[in-house]
Structure 1
Amino acid sequence: MLESERRPHDGLKARAFVRRRLRLGDRIDVVAGLRSLGLVLRPARIVRLVQIRVAHQLFALGASAVRPARFVDLRLVLALRRAALPAADGGAARLPGAHTAVLDVGHATNLRTARAWRCRRVSSVQADCARQERLTRGRRARDTLRMPGLESGLRRARHRSGLKQAELAVRAGISRQTLSALEAGRAQPSTAIALNLARALGCRVEELFWLREEGEVIRTGLASPARGSRRVLAGRVAGRWVAHPLRLDDPLSVITPADALLARGRLRLLRPRESVEANVLISGCDPGLAVLAGRVADRWAGQRLCWIGASSAAALASLARGEAHVAGAHLFDESAREFNVPFVRRALANRPMVVVTFAHLEEGFAVAPGNPRRIRKPEDIARPDVRFVNREPGAGARRLLDRLLRKAKVPTSAVKGYDRLLGGHLQVAQAVAMGAADAGVVARSAAVAHGLHFVPLSEERFDLVFPKEWSGDPRAARMVETLEGRAFRRELASLGGYDTRQSGHLVTELP
């Protein structure tokens, strides 16, 4: 039998007493010492400190008597505690029902028996507790999303002052552990502590703590798989939020500022909501789209054109799915002897569309400086000593290569590396520049940007396609006006391989 007056500090006294005596190495009668603290314990010989912990835990659960007295597994008590209800006054936990007065554990000498007892006695209570805890956790999570966090510059300020943590803690009247938690952002200071810290460091409170700028959280689907990237470009297309992950294999994604971060299937905006809503999402593969984006941003403050790298066919498909405002394409239809328009008709299912010329561009082989492999025509890439890197199906460069190989009667199986695919002009040029391939079909601007030799093969028209109903949007007018502008044309032509004389020209309106 184990009894006590159940004062809240009895267990602490008991543990402190036993630890002190055990450090001295004495062989003691533990009960005699505990009686000196005002405790009455039976049986007389309790020789393990864990038993005193068990007794204290059980009394904290509300049991006035416990049978039997010898417990050998502290996990039993923890299992019983998990079955307990939280006290209404925020104090210790209490066992449910009639078991508050006497806890008859009987043969509950191992964890399995304790779990069975718990399931048999308090399964409904436990379910209620778990349900209440989930509701509380959900409310806490929602409140956390709404509340702005607190950023801390405390560590930097302390380093500038040359103080150690212990010295600053003494001056501010707090413990070193509290100071460490404040510096790490694990705790938030009270007004008095913040003022004391600012006075001790000789600075303003705003220099030590400030509200973190938390972006709004929105729900939206991804236009393409994230593939490890959390950074996305976002916008609203036809009243619907759309997000495009910044691809990790895209050389420009590192220097492209993201609109939001992907977290648990949601987007946390990094820019004001109204600014992200004003974005123009343009999908295509030509590097010149970056110049158009820069010119639009320079001319109209707050207007952003987001370039999303994709092949011509993928860009038209993205436009058809409502995942972009504008699609860029350079696809040649051999039967119609026309660029882009037949593909727009097929991809957009006769929806009203506007086709505007971006520029005429040169495409050809990008090879190492000096052209050491002497690659001059399509037949040369079929040589055994030439390693080729190709574009994905649906790319204009891929269709150009296939067309030239058929004309030269060279089977694709004869090209070493025909199945090695990369997702853009810049990626192909980068592979050749790094020595991973000897040749690849790219726009001249991509070859020039990587310092490569360029072998021209064809000139193609690169068009921009957007829905006719969107043509009345001010953003569409700004884009077309930029295409017609002299500054844009001069800059694009300076990249090499662009003919901008018809930039901004209306090709057709479909249907």
Structure 2
Amino acid sequence: MESPNRVRQVRLQHGLSREDLAEHVGVTRQMIGLIETGKVNPSTSISLRLGKVLNSSVEYLFSTDPVETINAKVVTESDVHQEVSQRVVIGSVMGQNIARPLTFVHPMAQFVAAHGIVPSANPSNRVELYRDVHRTDKTLFISGCDLGLGLLANHISHASRHHQGIWFQASNRAAIEELRRGYTHVAAVHTHLSIEEFKQTLDLPFQVHAMHFSIGQLGWIVSRGNPRGFTSAGDLASGQYTIVNRPAGAGARELLDSELKRYGVPAQDIPGYQSVVRGHIDVAYAVFNGLADVGLAHASAAAQYGLDFLPIRPETCMLVFSPESELDESLQVLQESLQSDSFRQDLAAFGPYDVRATGKTIQ
């Protein structure tokens, strides 16, 4: 009895001949032909080798379910090799299906259940779905660097059986750029400016609406007990402290450069200034593991690792979105989650955060 599979389809996507695949797997060309036509069921060891060579799970290669596909614009990540297949989630942003990869670039999103896969060398932006055709209007993408956004995404997913919130880690500048390009529904940004001043800094082709997320503290993260006695950016002039930095476009990076300028400390003289990590939690991780003595990040990141925190200034985190998105069901679920007592209590405990204005519309 013949057993249908996807081995030939995936082999061709990788640009491999039967001979090539046979050589990598350690079987004959004829055996590959028999497997592809479903005339032979391979052993477990051969199946595992096929999966490894073709960068696919055994379940995917030998599933008998028909492949459902959906057309979507696939967002590419500069840090990800495009020659390998990618797990993706799909959402409808301003009327267009957007497929976003679940990769190490967004560590919290890596463990989200994917909606499908984009095969390698995929020129047509067709996504092969793992399950029945996905309701793309039920997915909400949130981009930003605040750790509380991961909590918000989970509350959205738990508050509604039909909607899913997914957090993608991004600096202020990157989150706004994703909103501008139509890759995300909501951009979360931190600012110490007024909303009027902040809106003037945005480079967007449309007006935006905004809601309060939280107020938190941005400052120095140091080891528990502050054993090296760090006090301010002025201490960095000694060259005795190694720091961990954030990328250009991040609010923490801008504050660090401002503090160095205030104390007259040349950035090039500071050990670790060129050592850049993506998010606040990565800063805390580096300090916790002794990879750096100090870093600038949010108090919530320090709290997750039990580290000491030296505040510099409070910052408001706002959720910014296009007015076109305001009628989306998923955004309404987000607003309901923000305004719920359970979420605000959870966020305050997760922080520390000031949540008295959480969920309120910013005029």
User: What SS does structure 2 have at the residue aligned with 1:329?
Assistant: strand
In the TM superposition, 1:257-272 aligns within 5 A as 257-263=113-119, 264-265=121-122, 266=125, 267-272=127-132
Q: Distance in 2 between matches of 1:234 and 1:210?
A: 22
Q: Distance in 1 between matches of 2:265 and 2:79?
A: 37
**Residues 220-252 of structure 1, C-alpha deviations (whole Å, 9 max, x = no match):** 232533614723333121122223323425442
What residue number does 1:218 align with?
71
**Residues 163-214 of structure 1, C-alpha deviations (whole Å, 9 max, x = no match):** xxxxxxxxxxxxxxx876376669xxxxxxxxxxxxxxxxxxxxxx973474
CA RMSD between the two structures: 2.8
What residue number does 2:343 align with?
488
Answering whether residue 117 of structure 2 is matched by residue 256 of structure 1, we say no
Q: Distance in 2 between matches of 1:277 and 1:472?
A: 11
User: What SS does structure 1 have at the residue aligned with 2:177?
Assistant: helix
Q: Distance in 1 between matches of 2:237 and 2:100?
A: 37
Answering whether residue 288 of structure 2 is matched by residue 427 of structure 1, we say no
- CA spacing shift, 1:411–1:141, aligned 2, 3 Å: closer
Q: Distance in 2 between matches of 1:210 and 1:416?
A: 53
What residue number does 2:90 align with?
234
In the TM superposition, 1:371-410 aligns within 5 A as 371-410=226-265
- CA spacing shift, 1:406–1:366, aligned 2, 3 Å: same
What residue number does 2:306 align with?
451
Q: Distance in 2 between matches of 1:326 and 1:250?
A: 16
**How many residues of Structure 1 are paired with residues of Structure 2 in the alignment?**
309
Moved over 6 A (4+): none
In the TM superposition, 1:48-67 aligns within 5 A as none
Q: Distance in 2 between matches of 1:340 and 1:404?
A: 23
In the TM superposition, 1:135-154 aligns within 5 A as none
Deviation at 1:271, TM superposition (A): 4.3
Identify the match of residue 180 of structure 2 among 317, 320, 339.
Answer: 320
In the superposition, the TM-score normalised over structure 1's length comes to: 0.55
What residue number does 1:303 align with?
163
Given residue 244 of structure 2, which amino acid in structure 1 is its aligned partner? V
Structure 2, unaligned stretches of length 5 or more? 1-7, 14-38, 49-61
Given residue 330 of structure 2, which amino acid in structure 1 is its aligned partner? R
What residue number does 2:134 align with?
274
Given residue 313 of structure 1, which amino acid in structure 2 is its aligned partner? R
Q: Is the 8 A contact 2:94 2:324 kept in 1?
A: no
- CA spacing shift, 1:185–1:431, aligned 2, 3 Å: closer
Q: Is the 8 A contact 2:171 2:249 kept in 1?
A: yes
What residue number does 2:100 align with?
244
- CA spacing shift, 1:218–1:369, aligned 2, 3 Å: same
Q: Distance in 1 between matches of 2:163 and 2:206?
A: 27
- CA spacing shift, 1:248–1:352, aligned 2, 3 Å: same
Aligned sequence identity (%): 31
Given residue 262 of structure 1, which amino acid in structure 2 is its aligned partner? V
User: What SS does structure 2 have at the residue aligned with 1:422?
Assistant: coil
User: Computing the radius of gyration over CA atoms, which structure comes out larger, 1 or 2?
Assistant: 1
Q: Is the 8 A contact 1:429 1:447 kept in 2?
A: yes
In the TM superposition, 1:314-353 aligns within 5 A as 314-332=174-192, 338-339=193-194, 341-349=196-204, 351-353=206-208
Deviation at 1:341, TM superposition (A): 4.7
Identify the match of residue 145 of structure 2 among 263, 285, 291.
Answer: 285
Given residue 155 of structure 2, which amino acid in structure 1 is its aligned partner? R
Deviation at 1:436, TM superposition (A): 1.3
Given residue 245 of structure 1, which amino acid in structure 2 is its aligned partner? P
Q: Is the 8 A contact 2:236 2:265 kept in 1?
A: no
Q: Distance in 2 between matches of 1:256 and 1:498?
A: 25
Q: Distance in 2 between matches of 1:357 and 1:221?
A: 30
User: What SS does structure 2 have at the residue aligned with 1:359?
Assistant: strand
Higher relative contact order (CA 8 A, sep 6+): 2
**Residues 61-86 of structure 1, C-alpha deviations (whole Å, 9 max, x = no match):** xxxxxxxxxxxxxxxxxxxxxxxxxx
Given residue 319 of structure 1, which amino acid in structure 2 is its aligned partner? L
Q: Distance in 1 between matches of 2:343 and 2:237?
A: 39
What residue number does 1:477 align with?
332
What residue number does 1:125 align with?
none
Deviation at 1:503, TM superposition (A): 0.4
Answering whether residue 74 of structure 2 is matched by residue 181 of structure 1, we say no
